[in-house]
Amino acid sequence: MPITDAPARARALYDARRDRTPIPPFTDSDPSLGMADGYAVQRLLVDLILADGDSIVGYKVGLTSKPMQRMIGVDSPDFAPILGSTVHVDGGTVSLSTLIQPKMEAEIIAVMGERLQGPGVLVTDAARAVAGVCASVEIVDSRFEDWRIKLADTVADLASNGAFAVSSRVVPLTEVDPRYVGMTLTRNGELVDTGAGAAALGDPLGVVAWLANVLGDHGIALEPGHLVMTGALHAAVPMAAGDVFRADFDRLGPVTLRVVE
Amino acid sequence: MPDVTALAERLTGARTSVSAIPQLSDDTPDLDLDTGYAVQRLLRSGRGPLVGWKLGVTSRAKQQQVGVDSPIYGFLAADHVLDAGEPLTVAEHINPRCEPEIVFVMGHELAGAHVSSTEVLAATAGVAVGIEVLDSRYSDYRFTMPDVVADNASAGRYAVGTPVPPQGIDLRLVGVVLEHNGGVVATASGAASLGHPAAAVAWLVRSLAATGEGLRAGDVVLSGGLTAAVPVSAGDVVVATVDRLGSLELGCR
């Protein structure tokens, strides 16, 4: 019996997260579902999660690269809140037992210094409101079977966010142009991939402006201290217990995360 | 041993007539790497003064894709250079593709079978952003490793920005951005070439030692493409940026 309304879909995702058991994509039973349907489910899912005592510490922007947009068949990014319960420290461990089918991505996080709310936010407004940028790895995860996602599915599923680790070093924009920050990702000391900040929509600060404008349409502001995950700088990498991932960013420093059972 | 002279003539014919040929290995199945380099040396002897060298197949991804575990090299002659601000004339090439590079300009000569990246950096006068224009003489870039070595590692043209001293720059981490007609098409860091661009140059020096050659002061070395190459047409513009080294713009006409 397919589920047909947003509250039931939110509940199904909530249960999938709790039980770590993936579910069939919503678009299997209703291919007409679109972006707005996805955000309606996302809002209800976030309500359920916050009711358990979790908190919103910022937002992630996903689908920021052309290859990912082509794969999902869209020409714009998506977003979702990121949760206090999923923050890991630099040098910490992440347990596979909390995840379903995780992959690792290195990206730049922007830390908000001032409130920022759209519409009408320019990239220069974003630059003024951002306190600085820092090194980060995101663990993406899907609560849908075999990552078989379409746009409405991933939007509903918190933009496929699983967890993340963030460096404590916040570097002000006077010292760094995020577009040209180089990054090398190693796994157990071996080079896996490289990238630069411009992989995120051409400019991570442009991603912040885009997010502020889209959140503004929903009546939401970016608040001081909020983190904005600006998008992966390379293709996502599978991870296994025992792996040590290190994303080293020029001008920002490294962030390291160990994967355990 | 295949007829090296005849193979070199075929490649020179393709280059000068701007028309692709089938890969040499199609009708020369015993073409191996040594023969490929022998063909390349013959091409070099007919191209005037040597300016420097280029590396190819320096990314692990590309090495895995073609099933090898080491890079290749080719030579740069004076007529490979695109001088500052000079546009690329697309019609002079068969199938041109652009990729961003970190370019070494040697301050001292360097030779030896045991040279490491530390010695490369000590012998380097400057490092610069570069754009290499690849141009395979083979149809659709279809070739085996010996084929591409014979074809001078697909060397076409190259442009170099203003060199800066390498001291204090971690070339492994510098950000690399390739733009095509105003949009970002690829990014990387310097580590995309063999883990470190200086390690790629060190590999070149060790390889040249096998034939008793080395780098001379003033030699230019293209240390390996850092992203996938983008095909270009007349009217296109390509910009390569390497953080800490600067930007370089190449117009195509």
What's the CATH code of the domain at B107?
Answer: 3.90.850.10
Q: Is the dihedral of CA A95, A96, A101, A106 positive or negative?
A: positive
Is A58 part of a structural domain of the chain?
Answer: yes
User: Is a pLDDT exceeding 70 seen at residue B98?
Assistant: yes
Which pLDDT belongs to residue A2?
66
For the segment B212-241, what is each residue's pLDDT rounded down to a tens digit?
Answer: 999 999 999 999 999 999 999 999 999 999
Confidence of residue B250 (pLDDT cuts 50, 70, 90): very high
Report residue B113 as tokens.
């079978």
**Strand blocks (E) in chain A:** 56-62, 78-83, 87-89, 92-95, 103-112, 130-140, 161-166, 182-187, 190-196, 227-232, 237-238, 244-249, 253-260
Chain B residues close to A105, C-beta within 8 Å = none
Q: Name which of B60, B184, B189 is nearest A182 (Cβ-Cβ).
A: B189
**Any residues with CB less than 8 A from the CB of B222 and at least 6 apart, and which?**
B52, B53, B54, B55, B76, B101, B103, B130, B132, B158
Q: pLDDT tens for residues B145-168?
A: 999 999 999 999 999 999 999 999
Max CA separation in chain A (angstroms) = 56
Q: Provide the shortest C-alpha distance from residue A18 to chain B (in Å).
A: 37
Greatest extent of chain B over all pairs of C-alpha atoms, in Å: 50
Question: What is the torsion angle, in degrees rounded to the nearest 10, for the CA atoms of residue B193, residue B198, residue B202 and residue B207?
Answer: 30
Whole-angstrom distance, CA of residue A186 vs CA of residue A258: 12
Q: Min CA distance, B249 vs chain A (Å)?
A: 16
d(CA B186, CA A209): 22
CATH code (residue A96): 3.90.850.10
Q: Is the pTM of this model over 0.90?
A: yes
The 3 state secondary structure assigned to chain B is CCCHHHHHHHHHHHHHHCCCECCHHHCCCCCCHHHHHHHHHHHHHCCCCEEEEEEECCCHHHHHHHCCCCCEEEEEEHHHECCCCCCECHHHCCCCEEEEEEEEEECCCECCCCCCHHHHHHCEEEEEEEEEEECCCEHHHCCCHHHHHHCHHHEEEEEECCCECCCCCCCCCCEEEEEECCEEEEEEEHHHCCCCHHHHHHHHHHHHHCCCCCECCCCEEECCCCCCCEECCCCCEEEEEECCCEEEEEEEC
Q: Structure tokens of B218?
A: 């003033």
Q: How many CB atoms lie within 10 A of CB B242?
A: 31
Residue with tokens 């461990």: A93
Among the partner-chain residues A199, A250, A251, the one whose CB lies closest to the CB of B187 is A199
Q: State the residue range of the domain holding B119.
A: 4-251
Q: Which residues of B touch A233 (CB under 8 A)?
A: 187
* Angstrom distance (rounded) from CA B183 to CA B136: 25
Confidence of residue B64 (pLDDT cuts 50, 70, 90): confident
Q: Print pLDDT tens along chain A (261 aa).
A: 567 799 999 999 999 999 999 999 999 999 999 999 999 999 999 999 999 999 999 999 999 988 888 888 888 899 999 999 999 999 999 999 999 999 999 999 999 999 999 999 999 999 999 999 999 999 999 999 999 999 999 999 999 999 999 999 999 999 999 999 999 999 999 999 999 999 999 999 999 999 999 999 989 999 999 999 999 999 999 999 999 999 999 999 999 999 999
What span, in angstroms and rounded, lies between the C-alpha atoms of B69 and A239? Answer: 24
**How many independent structural domains does chain B possess?**
1
Q: To the nearest whole angstrom, how far is the Cα of B4 from the nearest Cα of chain A?
A: 38
The predicted structure's pLDDT at residue A108:
98
Q: What's the length of chain B? A: 253
pLDDT above 80 for B124: yes
What is the pLDDT at residue A1? 57
Contacts of A195 in chain B (CB under 8 A): 187-189
Is residue B116 less than 8 Å (CB to CB) from chain A? no
State whether residue B26 sits within 8 Å of chain A by CB: no
B11-40 pLDDT, tens digit each: 999 999 999 999 999 999 999 999 999 999
Q: Is B189 on the interface with A (CB under 8 A)?
A: yes
Q: What is the ipTM of this complex?
A: 0.92
Verify whether the Cβ–Cβ distance A250 to B174 is below 8 Å: yes
B44 pLDDT exceeds 90? yes
Cis peptide before B163 (omega within 30 of 0): no
Distance of CA A253 to the CA centre of its chain: 20
Q: Which of B62, B187, B226 to mutate to test the interface with A (most CBs of A within 10 A)?
A: B187
- What's the gap in Å between the CA of B97 and the closest CA on chain A? 20
Is the Cα torsion angle A126, A128, A129, A135 positive or negative in sign? positive
> pLDDT value at position A200?
96
Residue range B120-124: mean pLDDT, rounded? 98
Identify the band that residue B62 occupies on the pLDDT scale cut at 50, 70 and 90: confident
Cα–Cα distance measured from residue B213 to residue B194, given in angstroms and rounded to the nearest whole number: 22
- Residue A163 CA to residue A87 CA, distance in Å, equals 6
**Locus of tokens 């040396």:** B41
Instruction: Tell me, yes or no, if B174 comes closer than 8 A to chain A by beta carbon.
Output: yes
Measure the CA–CA gap between A202 and A179, rounded to whole angstroms: 7
Inter-CA distances, B66 with B17, B38, B47, Å: 28, 21, 29
- Structural domain boundaries, residue A225: 6-260
Domain membership of residue A1 (yes or no) is no
Summary mean pLDDT of chain B: 96
State the nearest Cα–Cα gap between B125 and chain A, in angstroms: 23
Asked whether the beta carbons of A248 and B174 are under 8 A apart, the reply is no
Average pLDDT over residues B71-85: 96
Q: How far apart are the first and last CA of chain B?
A: 42
* Number of domains making up chain A: 1
Residue pairs between chains A and B whose CB atoms are closer than 8 Å? 66
pLDDT value for A73: 87
